[in-house]
Structure 1
Amino acid sequence: MEIRLLQPDDAVKYKELRLEGLKKNPEAFGSSFEEEVGRPPEVYGERFKAENSFHFGAFEGGRLVGVVSLVRETGLKMKHRANIYAMYVTEPSRQNGIGKLLVGEALEKARAWDGVEQIHLAVMSENAPAKKLYSAFGFEVYGKERHALKIDGEYYDEELRALYF
């Protein structure tokens, strides 16, 4: 198992994994498969080079099996905050500690980022394994967004969580 920062040449693997996540767990993401399927991989590669974000990948035997993104706010009044987005681990690789390793790596990077004092994320209210993972790291619920997502006429609520350091 290798956890490392994603590089522009990982963009094709990342897109494949992202599309898998959007298709299998559409309720876990604000974006949709339909919005991203036509997006060229280079778009992701450019994101991997951005100064205000870090994108981590978990690799097993050279295969990308999990990802998480850490994005820092850029506004003068908000740059003490960062957000975790796009967390996904393939179904066969779940329950193996990969999510814990990915989140741990993101938090380590956030703590080393000068001026970052808190990390925010949103998690689907019914996603018990993800909520357990985030709670284990000390993320606290500070709100709930009812009907945060609407997919095929069905609403999904999200818990809003933060970790303060």
Structure 2
Amino acid sequence: MIRLLQPSDAEQYYALRLEALQENPEAFATSYEEVIRNKDAIKQYEKSFAQKNFYTFGAFEDEKLIGMITLLPESKEKLKHKANIFAMYVTPSFREKGIGYGLLDAAIKKARELDRIISINLTVVSINHGAKALYNKFGFQTFGLEERALKINNVYFDEEYMTLSLDKE
């Protein structure tokens, strides 16, 4: 089951976020250590999930959160036609079962419901071939590459910038 997360899901989200940062540190700009140091992280997630114009979807298996994705529409007047996807993750034992597809589909459908959104942007680490293949299935196209975008334990990772045009389909 995929649904919008509620403030009551914040603890499960926190646990899955920590898992994501440990399992795939190269996929996120935030580090595990940064999240652990934040003593108010769960309260911040509760606040975020209660906000309008902030959409975090979760995939659940037997009431346990196993996947997540955030769609964040831009709020500045000149950017309101765009949204960004962040923090997509599916726990490893549930990958390649259509959960990532379902999460991405839910985020894109929400963007379409908002009417004003004509493009969705995201970044993906260039070595994450599975994620890139999923994004390509939905029509995302790479429009740029940032070399050495992330540095983890003295290893650099490039990130691709991808976009999906909702008004050209």
* TM value normalised by structure 1: 0.98
Find the counterpart in structure 2 of residue 3 from structure 1: 2
Percent of aligned positions that are identical: 48
Gaps of 5+ in 1: none
Task: Report the AA paired with residue 135 of structure 1.
Answer: N
Structure 2 CA distance for aligned equivalents of residues 128 and 114 of structure 1: 31
Structure 2 CA distance for aligned equivalents of residues 102 and 90 of structure 1: 13
Per-residue CA distance 1:49-76 (angstroms, 9 max, x = gap): 1222100000000110000000011111
Structure 2 CA distance for aligned equivalents of residues 38 and 93 of structure 1: 28
SS at match of 1:37: helix
Task: Report the AA paired with residue 53 of structure 1.
Answer: F
Superposition RMSD on alpha carbons, in Å? Answer: 0.7
Structure 2 CA distance for aligned equivalents of residues 137 and 29 of structure 1: 21
Structure 1 CA distance for aligned equivalents of residues 4 and 155 of structure 2: 35
The count of residues paired between Structure 1 and Structure 2 equals 164
* TM value normalised by structure 2: 0.95
* Aligned structure 1 segments of 4 or more residues deviating by more than 3 angstroms: none
Measure how far apart 1:10 and its partner are. 0.3
Task: Report the AA paired with residue 164 of structure 1.
Answer: S
Find the counterpart in structure 2 of residue 109 from structure 1: 110
Are 1:16 and 2:15 matched, yes or no?
Answer: yes
Q: Pairwise mapping of residues 14-163 of structure 1 onto structure 2 (< 5 A)?
A: 14-39=13-38, 40=40, 41-163=42-164
